[in-house]
Structure 1
């Protein structure tokens, strides 16, 4: 799935887990990582695997401060749980996916709420 500025937000909101590969066609490591990313997508049909072409979607890349590609970013329940530049091996990608699945999202959401409340009280 190719993500654009137009469908990015709805994709994140409407899916439990979204794994995004920020890439560009001129990037050799990006092209080398593509088969690993595609194989993982086939192995995990319950997860949305999406790609953002940083050349075509410069606004999206800028909003996430993508400085190096490929960069892999994983959202679960609209929270970024993983963001890392560089290629992952198939084993590393599977390990990250497993850890993302294991995270207690109720605790994560509570932590986010607490941090937002602290920031709001600090800004007042």
Structure 2
């Protein structure tokens, strides 16, 4: 599955109707964003990640969404699993780190974590 551009209007539906969503907040003028883009795209196309939604949010076209998500630097990667933000970090990742993060997100049992709180 390739990455999907998401606007503010589509964001809530995206996270409410998918179990695992990775969101790349980026900007066209951002050098690290342009470097991370192909890595993110490659991860989205791996067969083992077919169950993960890979979204991209252009912060310049969706300033309200970026603000609501607390994005202060780009690129920022956010992971939402079962409507819970389980990860959010600014900075581009190398491919190996992204693959590791995907594996950790898949393995995370958010239902058990929520019960412990």
TM (norm. structure 2) is: 0.92
Select the structure with the greater relative contact order (CA < 8 A; seq sep ≥ 6): 2
2:70 is paired with a residue whose SS is coil
CA distance in 1, matches of 2:107, 2:52: 14
Distance apart, 1:108 and its partner CA: 2.2
**1:36 and 1:46 mapped to 2: Cα distance?**
18
Higher-Rg structure is: 1
- State the Cα distance separating 1:45 from its structure 2 match: 1.6
- Give me the CA root mean square deviation: 0.9
Is 2:12 aligned against 1:24?
A: no
- Deviation per CA, 1:72-97, whole angstroms, max 9, x where unpaired? 00000011111000000000001111
The runs of at least 4 aligned residues of structure 1 exceeding 4 Å deviation read none
Q: 1:35 maps to what in 2?
A: 38
* Structure 2 residue matching 1:7: 3-state secondary structure: helix
Please give the secondary structure, in 1, of the residue aligned with 2:50: coil
Q: Which residue of 2 aligns with 1:121?
A: none
Alignment gaps of 5+ in structure 2: none
- CA distance, structure 2, for counterparts of residue 88 and residue 49 of structure 1: 15
Aligned residue in 2 for 1:101: 106
Residue 56 (str. 1) matches residue 68 (str. 2): no
Distance 1:78 1:72 in 2: 16
